[in-house]
Amino acid sequence: MIRFLLVLIMLACTAGAVVAYGDSDQIARASSKVSHIFRTQTAAPAPAVQIQRGQGGEFALRAKINGVAAPMVIDTGATSVVLTWETAKAIGLPLEMLEYDVDLETAGGRTKAARLTIDRLSVGHLVEKSVPALVVPRGQMKTNLLGMSFLDRLESWGVRADKLMLTGYPELQTSHRRSRLAVD
């Protein structure tokens, strides 16, 4: 998103320079205004979450799924976020509408899962929307998995010693003062 905005601004600046070609005062004023816009926008620090390794060697956490707290374990071997039936029910997902048509290999063996999209999944300050996920039938799993359909959306994640660091992308924020882009 940030790159798109920067490209759009650069294109507008180029078009303005072409229109104003020959009038160096007008080019200087346009350049000054574009510089002012860049100064009023700052990138907020990237949100990050640090998770301590548990005694069993796993990285467990409490996430919020559609605003409801749920225990999860990081699983980089899972291609998707996987929810237990019990968690999906507690969150209020439409279980009666799900089709269990996805073959899934779990630590407990093979099972079927149903596809769905989580509206909002947050881990600390990291928030992702429209996250693809799977739900397994009742009693098939004991733990919700935070898999790659969430982790791939982050800027980075990695383990150092006994800590897992999840880092999101910084967001471009505009200062409270409004700037005008107009050529005098």
pLDDT tens by residue, 124-159: 999 999 999 999 999 899 999 999 999 999 999 999
| 179 pLDDT tier (thresholds 50, 70, 90) | very low
Residue 45 binned pLDDT confidence (cut-offs 50, 70, 90): confident
Q: Please check the confidence at residue 19 and state whether its pLDDT lies above 60.
A: no
Q: State the pLDDT at residue 145.
A: 97
pLDDT in tens, 90-114: 999 889 899 999 999 887 789 999 9
Whether residues 104 and 53 fall in one domain = yes
Residues 41 and 96 in one domain: no
| pLDDT reading at 66 higher than 90 | yes
Q: Is residue 147 domain-shared with residue 105, that is, in the same domain?
A: yes
Answer yes or no: do 58 and 8 share one domain: no
Task: Look at residue 139 and tell me if it is in a domain.
Answer: yes
Q: Is residue 96 part of a domain?
A: yes
User: What region does 104 belong to: left with phi over 0, alpha with psi -120 to 50, or beta?
Assistant: beta
Does 112 share its domain with 39? no
Whether residue 81 sits in one domain with residue 10: no
Of the candidates 175, 164, 156, which has an alpha carbon nearest to the alpha carbon of residue 46?
156
Assess whether pLDDT exceeds 50 at residue 176.
Answer: no
181 lies in a domain? Answer: no
Given a cut of 90, is residue 13 above it in pLDDT?
no
Element spanning 148, H or E:
helix 148-151
- 108: CATH: 2.40.70.10
Question: What is the count of structural domains for the chain?
Answer: 2
